[in-house]
Amino acid sequence: MKLLVAYIATSGGDDAVALGACLARTFDAELELCIVIPPEPEGADPNEQVSVERLSEALDSAARRWLDAAAAKLPDDIETTTTIAEHANPGEGLIVQARRTSADMLVIGGAGGGIRGRHTLGTVVNDILHSAPIPVAVAPPGFAHLGADEVREISVAIGSRPGTQLLFQTALRSGVRAQRPIRLISLVAVDDVQPWRTEPEERALDSAREHARRSLEAAREQLPQDFPVSSAVAQGSTIEEAVGSLDWQDGDVVMVGSSRLAAPNTLFLGTTAAKILRAVSVPMIVVPKGTE
């Protein structure tokens, strides 16, 4: 398994490296730290060419120093490589590099500057969360200082809409590979079911409980005997309140699917997933939409 870590010499970059190390230990994966820098401009004025070349060399040299410093902080037991990629668009450059290296997951940090422990998204992160062809793990701010060394439990937000099978199967495979407990969570936001929707609140809760029960049975049928898997139904006025009512501990990660608007085999952060992202202080893994 290979994880591509999007690095930049900021607190968000440090958070991404820390999360990459956490996931690498958990899934016995190798890391590739990657910085994307802009390519040298073509067709520059001859009088300016020397200055352009010097600037490009300085940027390349700085990127190499940053990567070396980040890699030096990782323990020796994690196989790590570093790469400088050139692309005019950092988000697209990371996706191109992920395809080129057959990475299984892209690991990124938030923009920083938000409430400690709460996710904040910059332009590059937002672009990746709406176009990546592989799962993307997002580190919350401060993970480099407060994050766990390994994953403790994998929570997966199971929706009832079509197209969630890939998320479900990815969560089961991840739990088995890492030998970590799986928690299936079903969220009910009361404000979303009343008063303008025809489904009463209690019926919505009953539907969520039944969906959680069926999902748990399906998981147990596919998982090894006695594998630790559980389910939970969380209720709140909003999605943020519902997910916040759950117990979250150090080492937890939450896995969510893509919007139904996403193209097949492509990631697109939906409204519900975005609300969960804002409400939790644990890493989130967003899974692309399947082809079903």
Nearest Cα neighbor of 136 from 240, 5, 1 is 5
Give bridge partners of residue 138 from the DSSP assignment: 108, 284
Q: Residue 119 pLDDT > 70, yes or no?
A: no
Q: What is the pLDDT of residue 201?
A: 64
Name every residue whose Cβ is closer than 8 Å to that of residue 95 and which is 6 or more positions away in sequence: 106, 128, 131, 132, 133
Residue 26 one-letter amino acid: T
Give the C-alpha separation, 141 to 144, whole Å.
8
Q: What is the pLDDT of residue 56?
A: 79
Q: Which two structure tokens, joined as six digits, stand for 114?
A: 């938000």
User: What is the CB neighbour count within 10 angstroms for residue 159?
Assistant: 18
Q: What is the pLDDT of residue 113?
A: 40
Query: With pLDDT > 70 as the criterion, what percentage of the chain qualifies?
Result: 86
| Domains of the chain (ranges, CATH numbers) | 2-146 (3.40.50.620), 153-286 (3.40.50.620)
DSSP 40-96: PPSS--HHHHHHHHHHHHHHHHHHHHHHHHHHHTS-TTS-EEEEEEE-SSHHHHHHH
- Band the pLDDT of 111: cuts 50, 70, 90: low
Q: Residue 44 pLDDT > 70, yes or no?
A: no
Q: Which two structure tokens, joined as six digits, stand for 129?
A: 């969360």
Q: Which of 49-63, 86-100, 125-139, 266-280 has the lowest mean pLDDT?
A: 49-63
Query: With pLDDT > 90 as the criterion, what percentage of the chain qualifies?
Result: 59
Q: Residue 196 pLDDT > 60, yes or no?
A: no
- Band the pLDDT of 121: cuts 50, 70, 90: low
Who wins on pLDDT, 103 or 123? 103
Q: What is the pLDDT of residue 185?
A: 94
Q: Which two structure tokens, joined as six digits, stand for 260?
A: 């139904």
Give the C-alpha separation, 260 to 122, whole Å.
23
Q: Residue 53 pLDDT > 80, yes or no?
A: no
| 86-96 per-position pLDDT tens digit | 999 999 999 99
DSSP 212-256: HHHHHHHHHHHSPTT--EEEEEEEESSHHHHHHTS---TTEEEEE
Q: Residue 52 pLDDT > 80, yes or no?
A: no
User: What is the CB neighbour count within 10 angstroms for residue 75?
Assistant: 10
Q: Residue 127 pLDDT > 50, yes or no?
A: yes
Q: What is the pLDDT of residue 68?
A: 96
Q: What is the pLDDT of residue 165?
A: 82
DSSP strand pairing (182-189 vs 80-86)? unpaired
- Band the pLDDT of 110: cuts 50, 70, 90: confident
Who wins on pLDDT, 274 or 120? 274
SS3 content of the chain, % helix, strand, coil (to 5): 40, 20, 40
Q: What is the pLDDT of residue 114?
A: 40
Q: Residue 8 pLDDT > 50, yes or no?
A: yes
Q: Residue 245 pLDDT > 90, yes or no?
A: yes
What is the pTM (predicted TM-score) of this model? 0.89
| 57-87 per-position pLDDT tens digit | 888 899 999 999 999 999 888 999 999 999 9
